[in-house]
Amino acid sequence: MSQILQWHPAFQAAMQIGRIFKRYNILEYKSPEKSHTVNSFFKVVSYAGLLQSNTQREQEIPPEEITITLIGDRYPRRLLAYLKRRHRIGIEQAYPGIYYVEGLLFPMQVVVQRELDKGENVWLSRLRQNPRNSLDGGQEGAKSGVKLACKQDFAPSCTSDGHPMLLARL
């Protein structure tokens, strides 16, 4: 499940996950039983490339205004080992459960949900299928005070093999 979110700069300081965000942010979420793979990495990088290139004017969306976030319950060891070996990336743990990946075309972070700080990221743990598995055990609700809203417009596009694909654009 991928989403392209346009991020308001005022939110950057409010949440750990948002500190890397620029104007356009692609989030790829994996359910707890799945992990990010090399293939899912290339898929999300291709979304970033399509977002940047599918415009009316040259560099209407500057590449430096796009970020990628991979969210999952597991640390993607094989993927990150591949990126280290093949692309000589650097990995920095910015916060518990949040790793910045440096040295790629687009800034990227990996979010490992089960490692996240409970107090800072309760809202993010709500993405899990079973709310009892969330960081707060399903106890925190509206009192967490964090609401995530996204307005989406969809821009039709096609993959290289001609399959239709939708890109959420704000």
CA distance 133 to 76: 20
User: Residue 126 has what pLDDT?
Assistant: 63
**Is the pLDDT higher at 67 or at 128?**
67
Q: How does pLDDT run across 62-107, given as a tens digit for each residue?
A: 999 999 999 999 999 999 999 999 999 999 999 999 999 999 999 9
Total Cβ atoms within 10 A of residue 9: 10
Residue written as token pair 């969330």: 134
Q: What are the φ and ψ backbone dihedral angles of 4, each rounded to 5 degrees?
A: -110, 115
Q: Six-digit token pair at 114?
A: 């089960």
The angle at the Cα of 87, spanning 85 to 88, to the nearest 5 degrees, equals 65
> Quick check: 138 pLDDT over 70?
no
Helix (H, G, I), strand (E, B) or coil at 125: helix
User: What does pTM read for this prediction?
Assistant: 0.70
